[in-house]
Amino acid sequence: MAFLSARVQGVLDHWQALVYVVLVFFAICWLAQALRAWFRLRHVHGPFSASFSNFWLIRHVSAGVMHLDLAEVCEKYGSLARIGPDTLVTRDPEIWKRMLAVRTPYKRSDWYDAMRLDPSRDNVLSEKNDDKHTELRAKMAAGYSGKENENLEETIDRNVSAFVQLINTEYISSSSAFKPLDFGRKSQYFTLDVISDVAFGNAFGFLETDSDVHEYIKTTEENLPAIIMVSVLPWLNWALQSPILKSLLPSDKDQLGLGKIMGIAKQVVGERFGPNKKSQRDMLGSFIRHGLTQKEAESETLVQILAGSDTTATAIRATMLYIITNPRVYTNLLEEIDSVPLSSPIQDSEARKLRYLQAVIKEGLRIFPPVTGLMTKVVPPGGDTINSLFIPEGTKIGYCAWGMFRNKKIWGEDADVFYPERWLEGPIEKIQAQEATLELIFGYGRWQCLGKSVAMIELNKIFVELLRHFNFAIIDPTDPWHSVNVGIFMQSEMWVRVSRRGSLQESSHQTSRLASS
């Protein structure tokens, strides 16, 4: 027995030693890799832990305030800072423009794999191949611009009026009745109805039912943190293509959430193909006429909804918050709206002539950029020299939106102040330079946002229509909303008190007619 015990102990000791050797081997390999990563970009400053591990990125992405964390890094370490073993971030608009220029040698990084709604299929947001991306954009450009969508502005008008009507009938407070409005949530109802109406020819009905139809918002907000984590750890996208994990993802057979919207998209697109296909002069019709396949059309209409609703809703919510908490801005904007005869709803061409309104919209986008994801690009073969620093090939460089649009070197010492007059005062050259930088909100060059024109029409209309009809007041200025950032913002509980502004009987009748048309 003693002999057997000794043999067993010997085997255990042998395996213990083997495990120890393996662990030491992996530790040495990790250390060597960490040292190589640190050495490669040792001349670019940033948080120490970010120089050899993605832990800094993972921790800050999951915290819900990454836009602030990135801005803080750039403020501390410079306009080009290190946030990962192979990842930098910049708040310099000139660097970003150069990387995004039409003939840039920079490519999209694996960050964009997280933008795949189907882990095995690319769309215009996730496609990294330049030629395929350009081809996709060419097929969709006319539809997004409205050139082949004869009723684009009327469609947006219909939903603006539905938003006004919802507030007018359900959320008017008075001395005898208090009916708080969650402006954060209702703004998203509005943008979802606009984009679904524009994309599918029929609004989902968020405003009509005053509800989260199919629990789309709820399930999307539950999944957004996971999507942004894939952008930091792209290998997760490949794991999601396994049959087991893929079965857990949204499916067009689901009865709720994103899966339900996928099913609607598949059904609507299917009606445009086949022997009894529908042909309509709308955005989807334009896509198909320019050569999108059925699968591509299904994917791109979903991208429209995801990308076009949350971002525009954030622009509306944030700008409205700054308007109604700045009495001077509120008064000046109302005076401009009241000073000229306007259509109801206001037409895009009329809104473009209202100088103070345009200044307010620009300032809202600047002080609260709706998209803050890194959107990293890859340094081309041979490397590049940026601000006298050589950056080796394969390095990823990301976008620091918050740092860029609140950089005091660009915007002045009052960069953190909502001041629309900055777009109206001073030398014309300065204003033009500011406008050129603001364009980066919608991307630049070959990667400029296709939905920019639709978003700007919405912004040109919504503030005028809401403010000409209603008075707004934030219920709790010390805690105005619940806002979480995951590359885009999830915002709700923006509680406001609304009352009618003057005599609106005639306007109400007109709004009712438009809402029902």
Find, among 116, 124, 119, 114, the residue nearest to 292 by Cα.
Answer: 124
- Is 74 annotated as belonging to a binding site? no
| DSSP track, 131-167 | HHHHHHHHHHHHHHHTTT-TTHHHHHHHHHHHHHHHH
The β-bridge partners of 5 are none
Cα(55)–Cα(153) distance, rounded to whole angstroms? Answer: 46
Q: Are 406 and 435 in contact (CB under 8 A)?
A: no
Q: Is 142 exposed, middle or buried, given 0-12, 13-18 or 19+ CB atoms closer than 10 A?
A: middle
d(CA 101, CA 335): 40
- For the chain, give me the number of helices (H) and strands (E)? 22, 12
Contact at 8 Å (CB) between 84 and 56?
yes
Q: Which of 71, 59, 15 is nearest to 407 (CA)?
A: 71
CA–CA dist 409, 91 (Å, integer): 11
Q: Which two tokens stand for residue 478?
A: 């010390």
* Angstrom distance (rounded) from CA 273 to CA 271: 6
The residues, any chain, with a CB within 8 Å of residue 185's CB and separated by 6 or more, are: 212, 217, 492, 493, 494
3-state class (DSSP) for residue 432: helix
Structure tokens at 219: 């399930």
Backbone angles phi, psi at 472, to 5 degrees: -120, 140
Pick from 375, 383, 411, 392: which is nearest to 90 by CA?
375
Which parts are annotated binding residues for heme?
A: 449
Which parts are annotated binding residues?
A: 449
